[in-house]
Amino acid sequence: MTVKIVNICKNYSNKFTVIIPFFAKSAATMIALSVDDLILGKAGELGPIDPQVKHPAFDMFFPASSIKYALEFIESSNDPYIKMTMADKLDPLLIGAYNKTIDEAKQYLMEVPSIKNSENKQDIIETFTKKYADHGFPITQEICRSLNFEFSFEFNDDEIENMIYDIHDLALDIMEREKIGALILTQNDAYAELYYSEQEEN
């Protein structure tokens, strides 16, 4: 779905720009890395992609990193009983799903032009897929600069920056009042519901 959103935005625009006043995490990070121009505010941050794995037997998703930590815990244990018990409970299909999901995320990032053409692309990919344990870890302007991203990281004008914060707050107010998940702003100032409202979901 994330790749589809990126392709739609790029195909229907001359230049795909993303502005992040505060934060973008997981799938939103993947979108931000794929744009033609990324504007990261002074308080803005990205986060690890942290792909989700679908359980092969049950209709549920959970972070791929949780499988990684389970494997690491088993390997670090000196108790053979714990190793045997934990290994027996860890579905081999989940291990396969974890490896597949991580490989897919890396492969996608490898094809993002700004990363593909970077001299330190492996560092960038590791930073956004494996380096940080916490889903919410703040990948800040400083970290992004250390990776030599060719993006804009700050607003050049304080007045414009404050205006964007105001628009951000207004959008959140509309979404909360109308109980919708996202807005599409058009030239006519119209908006569309992308997701079911909270009332419909409940």
Q: What is the mean pLDDT of residues 184-194?
A: 54
pLDDT of 42:
83
Q: Which has the higher per-residue pLDDT, 31 or 101?
A: 31
E strands, the chain, where? 17-20, 37-40, 52-54, 61-63
Contact between 39 and 20 under an 8 Å Cβ cutoff? The reply is: yes
How many whole angstroms separate alpha carbon 105 and alpha carbon 34? Answer: 13
How many whole angstroms separate alpha carbon 35 and alpha carbon 30? Answer: 9
For the chain, the average pLDDT equals: 79
Bridge partners of residue 139, in order along the sequence:
46
Contact between 53 and 63 under an 8 Å Cβ cutoff? The reply is: yes
Q: Is the model's pLDDT at 194 over the cut of 60?
A: no
**Tokens for 44?**
């803005």
Q: What's at 172, amino acid-wise?
A: L
Instruction: Choose from 9-13, 114-118, 121-125 the range with maximum mean pLDDT.
Output: 121-125
Contact between 41 and 155 under an 8 Å Cβ cutoff? The reply is: yes
**Tokens for 48?**
């690890």
Q: What is the mean pLDDT of residues 97-113?
A: 83
- Least confident residue range of 31-35, 94-98, 142-146, 160-164: 94-98
User: Could you say which DSSP state residue 25 is in?
Assistant: -
pLDDT in tens, 36-85: 888 888 888 999 887 777 766 677 777 777 777 777 777 777 877 777 77
How many whole angstroms separate alpha carbon 98 and alpha carbon 195? Answer: 28
Q: Is the model's pLDDT at 200 over the cut of 60?
A: no
> Quick count: other Cβ atoms within 10 Å of Cβ 80?
8
Percent pLDDT > 70 in the chain is 84
What residue spans define the domains of the chain?
53-99, 156-202
Q: What's at 201, amino acid-wise?
A: E
Q: C-alpha distances in angstroms, 49 versus 24, 71, 83, 91, 137?
A: 10, 20, 29, 24, 10
Give the count of alpha carbons within 13 A of 187, CB side only. Answer: 0
Q: What's at 99, amino acid-wise?
A: N
Q: Is the model's pLDDT at 193 over the cut of 50?
A: no
User: Could you say which DSSP state residue 187 is in?
Assistant: T
